[in-house]
Structure 1
Amino acid sequence: MKKSVLSLAVLMSLASANAMAATTDLTVTGNITPAACTPTFANAGVVDYGSLAVTELEEISYGYLLPKKSLNLSIECNTPAAFALIASDNRRDSGQAAGAGFGLGKHQDQDIGAYRISWSSENVLIDGVQGTTVESMDAGNSWQIVAKGMFEESGYWPSFRVGFSSGVEPRPTAASSVNVIMDILGHVKKDLPFSDRVELDGSTTVELLYL
């Protein structure tokens, strides 16, 4: 599996200048990807809730639900390429339990809450045509079609991948353009000191891997 980077390292070792048979070795290593794909979130990837009062939020057993937000993810490639996506939580120290989503940061050393990133396969376009979502639990060795896609935090699920297919085969399709409307659903915990201003601080990195 190749990542969307081009790396080149030049390594050189020099023999002693006093050796009878002085030699020098030059090693060139690197990889060239088959395509260049650029993933981009709309609104620079910012989901802004502005100012919300707790009384405006729906109460549930373990907290308060944040309003659903939607954000478009577009992936443009200079030549058709098959790829997968993984997501990493930059606020993993929020202490979210496995499967609880991505952390929303901390307030006075307390975990604020969590959010999930998911989408319906109805909201997937591949080269302008309706597509579907595929996922892998074994780092891309096998795939299955799912009606609803979502990101799993790579720290908890290192072998999880998501991709997109334009056919009936359960594997990512080589594409020049993919557009997905994603939903962000989150909650904040009940035991936060809401007498203070609580600032949400979620951050997720989405990485594209060439297949």
Structure 2
Amino acid sequence: MRISFNICNGLLMNLRKSILFYSITIAVFLFSAFSSASSRASLKITGEVLPGACDLGIDNGGALQLGKPHSTPSSDGGKKTLPKRNVNIIIQCPSPTSFGIRAIDIASNAGNVKSHGAATDTVFSLGQTSKGDPIGGYFSTIDKSHSWVDGKPLSNLIVSKDQGHSWQPMLDNLTTNGKNIYSWGDPLQPLSARLVKIGLIISPFIYKYNHSDTVKIDGITSFELVYL
């Protein structure tokens, strides 16, 4: 019994020594870990300070008068071409900025006006009659001969059909749905500018309906700046 007790007591002492040893070892290890930690950390803050917003305006207060054309009856649903009109868009920025514009037809019957040989998304609406018939439409294209960028001729028009990810030469009329962004580049990368004038050529037409009442032409297009 005593031998057994002594053996147990010896094991207990050894166990206590082992625990003490490991406790000291762990304590030293933790002390060493904390003593090697840095007492200083840095916070890095990044971002960009953007220039003030650019101003966009359209001459004549954004109003374009087509006059009072007379529609003639037509059994084949033809159209009557009206004289072309010119309008200027002016964009002024506080500092050189890379941007483009896009057009969005917001008139009644937008996206539903058709013209033979033309894509539907290039025909802007001139509104509709009280019966829901389309009155007519118009095409809009940029006139390079009456456009300039910071006082220099606007010679290289470009268009992006994927929200500015890629660019290609502009060859067609403006689209009506806002999907295409139009800018100017060298050769296919948009350039920054402070003052830009964009001359537009408006080519309207009306359908040849036998209207018994006066029909009000009511086209409206929103032009938006897109910062690139």
TM-score range, shorter chain: 0.7 to 0.9
Give 5+ residue unaligned stretches, structure 1.
1-30
Q: Deviations 1:128-171 (Å, cap 9, x if unpaired)?
A: 0012311111111111233x5632112xx63x111123xx3212
Closer, same or farther: CA 149–104 of 1 in aligned 2, 3 Å:
same
Does 1:93 find its partner at 2:117?
no
Q: Give yes or no for the alignment of 1:48 onto 2:48.
A: no
CA-to-aligned-CA distance 1:65-96 (integer Å, 9 cap, x gap): 11100011111001110011111111253532
**Of Structure 1 and Structure 2, which has the larger fraction of its residues in helix?**
2
Kindly indicate whether residue 149 of structure 2 is the aligned counterpart of residue 126 of structure 1. Answer: yes
Runs of 4+ in 1 over 6 A off after TM superposition: none
Partner amino acid for 1:200? Answer: I
TM-score (norm 1): 0.72
Q: CA RMSD in A?
A: 2.3
Does structure 1 retain, via aligned residues, the 8 Å contact 2:146–2:198?
A: yes
Whether the aligned pair in 2 keeps the contact of 1:123 and 1:180 (CA below 8 Å) is yes
Where does the alignment leave 5 or more consecutive residues of structure 2 unmatched? 1-47, 115-119
Sort the Cα spacing of 1:33 and 1:152 in 2 relative to 1 into closer, same or farther, 3 A.
Answer: farther
Question: Residue in 2 aligned with 1:105?
Answer: 127
Q: Find the aligned partners of 2:49 and 2:68 in 1 and give their Cα distance.
A: 46
Aligned pairs for 1:195-210 within 5 A: 195-210=212-227
Letter in 1 for 2:169: I
Q: Percent identity?
A: 27
CA distance in 1, matches of 2:206, 2:195: 35
**8 Å contact 1:133–1:149 — kept in the other structure?**
no
- Structure number with bigger Rg: 2
Alignment of 1:1-211 (within 5 A): 33-54=50-71, 62-94=78-110, 95-97=112-114, 98-108=120-130, 109-131=132-154, 132-146=156-170, 148=171, 150-154=173-177, 158=179, 160-165=180-185, 168-190=186-208, 192-211=209-228
TM-superposition CA deviations, 1:18-65 (whole Å, max 9, x none): xxxxxxxxxxxxx9743321111100111112222236xxxx983001
1:169 and 1:100 map into 2 onto residues whose CA distance is 25
- SS class of match (2:121): coil
The structure richer in strand per residue is 1
